[in-house]
Amino acid sequence: MGTRPLSVVGTITGDGRIVLVDDLEKPVPEGGSHEGLPTPVNLELEWVLGKMPRKEFVLQRVAPTLRPLALPPGLTVRQALERVLRLPAVASKRYLTNKVDRSVTGLVAQQQCVGPLHTPLADVAVVALSHFDTVGAATALGEQPIKGLLDPAAGARLALTEALTNLVFARITDLRDVKCSGNWMWGGKTGAEGGALVTACEGLVGLLHRLGVAIDGGKDSLSMAARVGTQTVMAPGTVVVSAYAVCPDITATVTPDLKCPDGKGALLWVQLSPGKHRLGGSALAQVFSQLGDQCPDLEHPEILASAFRVTQSLIQEGALSAGHDVSDGGLLGCVLEMAFAGNCGLHMDVATVPPGTSTLAVLFAEEPGLVLEVPVATSVAVCRRYQEAGVSCVPIGHSGPYGPEATVEVVVAGTSLFSEPVGDLRAVWEETSFQLERQQAAPECVAQEEADLRRRQGPSFTLTFDPYEEPPLLRQMESPGPWVATGGL
């Protein structure tokens, strides 16, 4: 029969007693009775729990009062971008990565920084399991608390979606092998926040079930509210989803930095909520001190699952040169970050805009999706792969020349919205980081790096040998001793 895969250690009787049976001398047969055996513990639960007060949670569900987003009349894309790129949630995190060791243990295969300028934009973290193999583990994070203020269930679903659209850029075994840690931070005992927490849990559990992904751990902090004088200060309800999975090849990770300059790379937009451009809870709404009334969501989880598997297949085939997820900052923020990391210009061209949708909504809505860079010669075939899987994938431009003076041009529906050097736009994106770094480092050093980064070129490397040349084999001596090498160098 072999060894049983589990051991039965007890049964639930429902009689209000905990009984521990000493069956070392005479084992109880399965399904048998323990009558006549010693019972070192035979405890009436009422004796222990009878005086313990029961906790009561009175939960309310109150729909938030929402107002449509009202942006300033005549607001241009460039003016909006000036604010969005400075928002801490969107702006550079260089002030964090500058002060830490990002490669402790020597097993870190993908750290936070990517590209020739070490720009902190990596989507996924990858570590090796040993120094002698390419097997490892990948992990990625997702959180969307601002959108949860409009719709707690949508905010929780988008947190999981963001974690998965980050994780997808490392090669993993399968979507159903992904496990998550759910960390809840909520003022769950205040007003209607308890009901909002339940709504968020229900939304997250439903999406987990439909994707076949599981949460196997986490923690909660449900007292995220404090009295200050006569006011209650409360943190926005947040669930942080940490997704992780086995990575069979740590060398196959795709990073956001553009790698095919001079028009050799095509940009493809993979839409997970096609046709939707909702600005509620977006960075654009936040920089104008608003929330809006409609936030993004993932109405069709099967699209995410299909896009995840197609992307994984393309990574395994080496078909993607760069990739990034659409999240804080929207489509335009995603594309610009790819240019910033690659120190490369680009031409972005969104050919069509749905009727009744503004240009700002197309560029700044934070609907879940991916932007990929692939060689121009394969772009049609890659688009077809997604479309055959039921996923919308459309070309939105191509890479430009390399260097900080290279131009970033954005065109929507045939209208050019702005054209600027990538170095100047990156300086706006880096400005908030440098302001924060002045609080923790020598200001004169920070000023030097800020001035240099705007026009910085990537490092150049020159080899004094041909790395593809096979070294000659050593001739085996007629009477080799144990000290003689007989293999290739």
pLDDT of residue 173: 96
pTM: 0.86
Q: What is the band of 146 on the pLDDT scale with cuts at 50, 70, 90?
A: very high
Pairing of strands 238-247, 179-185: antiparallel
Average pLDDT over the chain, rounded to an integer = 91
Q: What is the band of 33 on the pLDDT scale with cuts at 50, 70, 90?
A: low
Mean pLDDT of 75-88: 98
Beta-bridge mates of residue 179:
214, 244
CB 232 within 8 A of CB 192: no
Q: Tens digit of pLDDT for each residue in 302-342?
A: 999 999 999 999 999 999 999 999 999 999 999 999 999 99
Check whether 189 has a pLDDT greater than 70. yes
CB 364 within 8 A of CB 84: yes
Q: What is the band of 39 on the pLDDT scale with cuts at 50, 70, 90?
A: confident
Q: Tens digit of pLDDT for each residue in 174-186?
A: 999 999 999 999 9
More confident residue, 411 or 477: 411
Three-state SS sequence of 336-352: HHHHHHHCEEEEEEECC
More confident residue, 482 or 449: 449
Pairing of strands 41-44, 119-120: unpaired
More confident residue, 61 or 388: 388
pLDDT of residue 480: 55
Q: Which value, in Å, is the radius of gyration of the alpha carbons in the chain?
A: 28
pLDDT of residue 16: 86
Mean pLDDT of 40-47: 86
| Long-range contacts of residues 460-467, Cβ cutoff 8 Å, at least 24 apart | none
C-alpha distances out from residue 326 to 96, 242, 292, 360, Å: 22, 18, 19, 15
